[in-house]
């Protein structure tokens, strides 16, 4: 009889070995991808920006040796800056700081287009270097700045009048109070935000208003704003259980819009309303709000004018979140994607297209309703007139651009959208005897 303990020991060793192999393969794939990714960025910069030089060999060499980043480090001609204004800051005799607008803007790597693109009219900070004795000393200052603020530095420039060299930073100063942003990456100023929140709607209850204001002044970074919500802001109200309703909030909670540096509203958000049944007073209700805030994203408080019952408006944060269309838990909560609703969407679209061949149509439809993830490719019939820039690659393959582009799940919009002008490869079915043989090759 075979020793059972020996079998168990062998199995454990096998499992450990397989885990090790999996980790090793994952590392190899990631390294290969990252290497390709960085090489693509390097090749693009060399090909398209060889003429962006300072005229100084040391500086050009320094810029070319900088590591490849998603935001390119570059030489920036001084005539690219406008609206240059001095910033009130305690500067040393060696530096002066100014705000400005960079006309063309910095280079950002775009994964979709596989190239660097510019974001025009970007706010920047110019740090001038006065009394620098040599270019070497200036570049030492740049190196130190890159160590401390790598992702915040766009590049180097030079004032053509004073000949002072300049380090160009991301904007770090609030436009309203001229103080440093609380969160520089999101261009968010806490003190200015708290001042703006004093103009929000009052509940009519001093206790509730004080509770809301206390929550608001504790706001950090780009959190949503806790607020009083007038009941007439809710519509399509549907019962979920004895004390909870689903509803659409017309104006939606305040979110930080990082591009504009202010809070904005995104309309028509699906939320949950929880009534304060059997609560004896306002204090008891507010304690319940505090308790719910631990596990749920509570947006604010409202009141039904007919029943005078107070209400919490929230979105479930950890375990569940409901699909806006079917009111069932999302298949993928993070991407707000519902498999069932996606299948219904594809089925409704069946009548909008046809290949002209029943076997092919059925094959495509089967692939569509088998979709399992928000990031899965949507398999579809593509009219040939959707392709342009067609170029031969080899005897049975050609490269082309798909005009409308493939369907992608857009989380913010909660629907499938197309990304136009996608580069693709077309493979022809030479020497295949039948449609079944072709479909087998597709599989």
Q: 325-351: per-residue pLDDT in tens? A: 565 778 888 788 888 888 888 888 888
State how far the Cα of 378 lies from the Cα of 283, in Å rounded to an integer: 52
State how far the Cα of 442 lies from the Cα of 429, in Å rounded to an integer: 10
- pLDDT tens digits for range 294-309: 767 888 999 999 988 8
Residue 28: pLDDT over 60: no
The pTM score is 0.42
Residue 198: pLDDT over 80: no
- pLDDT tens digits for range 119-133: 888 889 899 888 777
**Both tokens of residue 333?**
């909560």
In the numeric block, the tokens 């604010």 are attached to 300
State how far the Cα of 44 lies from the Cα of 434, in Å rounded to an integer: 43
State how far the Cα of 252 lies from the Cα of 299, in Å rounded to an integer: 9
Q: Is the alpha carbon torsion for 210, 214, 217, 221 positive or negative?
A: negative
The dihedrals phi and psi of 415, each to the nearest 5 degrees, come to -160, 170
pLDDT band for 6, please (50, 70, 90 cuts). Answer: very low
State how far the Cα of 101 lies from the Cα of 244, in Å rounded to an integer: 50
Predicted pLDDT at 29: 46
255 near 299, Cβ under 8 Å? no
pLDDT band for 84, please (50, 70, 90 cuts). Answer: very high
333 near 320, Cβ under 8 Å? yes
Top mean pLDDT of 243-252, 310-319, 360-369, 406-415 is at 360-369
State how far the Cα of 207 lies from the Cα of 401, in Å rounded to an integer: 61
Residue 55: pLDDT over 80: yes
User: Mean pLDDT for the chain?
Assistant: 79
Top mean pLDDT of 46-55, 145-154, 203-212, 255-264 is at 203-212
**Of residues 199, 185, 140, the one with CA closest to residue 165:** 140
**Both tokens of residue 181?**
């942003």
Predicted pLDDT at 92: 52
DSSP 267-320: S-EEEEEEE-TT--SHHHHHHHHHHHHHHEEEEEEEE-TTT--EEEEEEE-SS-
Residue 80: pLDDT over 90: yes
**Of residues 195, 174, 168, the one with CA closest to residue 186:** 174
Top mean pLDDT of 142-151, 248-257, 359-368 is at 359-368
Predicted pLDDT at 295: 65
Top mean pLDDT of 61-75, 145-159, 174-188, 376-390 is at 376-390
217 near 210, Cβ under 8 Å? no
Average of per-residue pLDDT across 35-51: 57
- pLDDT: which is higher, 196 or 203: 203
* 358-369 vs 339-349: helix crossing angle, rounded to 10: 160
* 358-369 vs 435-442: helix crossing angle, rounded to 10: 20
Predicted pLDDT at 4: 45
- pLDDT tens digits for range 138-159: 999 888 888 877 668 899 999 9
- pLDDT tens digits for range 225-240: 888 999 999 988 888 7
Please give the order of strands across the beta sheet that includes 310-316.
227-228, 296-303, 310-316, 269-275, 244-249, 234-241
Predicted pLDDT at 301: 93
Predicted pLDDT at 17: 66
Predicted pLDDT at 52: 61
Predicted pLDDT at 48: 54
- pLDDT: which is higher, 88 or 356: 356
Distance, C-alpha 260 to centroid of its chain: 15
Enumerate the H helices of 128-234 as residue ranges. 135-149, 190-197, 206-217
400 near 390, Cβ under 8 Å? yes
Predicted pLDDT at 5: 46
């Amino acid at each position: 009889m075979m020793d059972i303990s020996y079998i168990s020991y062998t199995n454990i060793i096998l499992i450990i070995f397989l885990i090790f192999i999996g980790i090793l393969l994952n590392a190899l794939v990631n390294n290969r991808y990252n290497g390709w990714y960085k090489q693509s960025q390097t090749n693009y910069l060399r090909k398209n920006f060889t003429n962006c030089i300072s005229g100084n060999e040391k500086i050009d060499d320094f810029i070319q040796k900088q590591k490849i980043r998603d935001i390119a480090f570059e030489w920036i001609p001084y005539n690219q800056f406008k609206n240059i204004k001095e910033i009130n800051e305690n500067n040393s005799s060696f530096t002066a700081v100014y705000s400005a607008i960079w006309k063309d803007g910095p280079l950002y790597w775009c994964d979709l287009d596989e190239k660097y693109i510019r974001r025009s009219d970007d706010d920047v900070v110019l740090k001038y270097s006065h009394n620098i004795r040599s270019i070497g000393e200036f570049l030492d200052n740049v190196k130190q700045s890159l160590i401390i603020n790598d992702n915040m530095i766009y590049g180097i420039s030079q004032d053509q009048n004073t000949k002072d060299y300049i380090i160009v930073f991301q904007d770090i100063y609030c436009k309203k109070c001229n103080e440093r942003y609380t969160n520089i990456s999101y261009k968010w100023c806490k003190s200015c935000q708290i001042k703006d929140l004093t103009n929000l709607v009052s509940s009519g209850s001093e206790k509730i208003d004080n509770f809301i204001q206390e929550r608001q002044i504790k706001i950090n970074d780009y959190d949503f704003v806790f607020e009083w919500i007038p009941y007439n802001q809710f519509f399509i109200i549907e019962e979920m259980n004895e004390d909870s309703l689903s509803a659409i909030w017309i104006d939606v909670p305040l979110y930080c819009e990082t591009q504009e540096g202010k809070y904005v509203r995104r309309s028509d958000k699906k939320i949950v309303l929880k009534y304060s049944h059997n609560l004896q007073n306002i204090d008891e209700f507010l304690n319940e709000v505090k308790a719910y805030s631990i596990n749920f994203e509570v947006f604010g408080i409202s009141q039904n004018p007919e029943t005078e019952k107070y209400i919490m408006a929230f979105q479930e944060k950890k375990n569940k979140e409901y699909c806006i269309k079917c009111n069932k838990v999302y298949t993928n909560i993070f991407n707000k994607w519902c498999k069932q609703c996606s299948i219904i969407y594809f089925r409704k679209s069946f009548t909008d297209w046809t290949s002209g061949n029943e076997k092919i149509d059925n094959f495509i439809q089967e692939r569509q309703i088998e979709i399992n993830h928000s990031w899965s490719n949507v398999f579809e019939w593509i009219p040939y007139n959707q392709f342009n820039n067609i170029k031969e690659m080899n005897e049975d393959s050609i490269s082309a651009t798909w005009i409308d582009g493939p369907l992608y799940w857009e989380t913010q919009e909660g629907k499938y959208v197309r990304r136009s002008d996608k580069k693709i490869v077309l493979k022809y079915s030479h020497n295949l005897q039948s449609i079944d043989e072709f479909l087998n090759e597709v599989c």
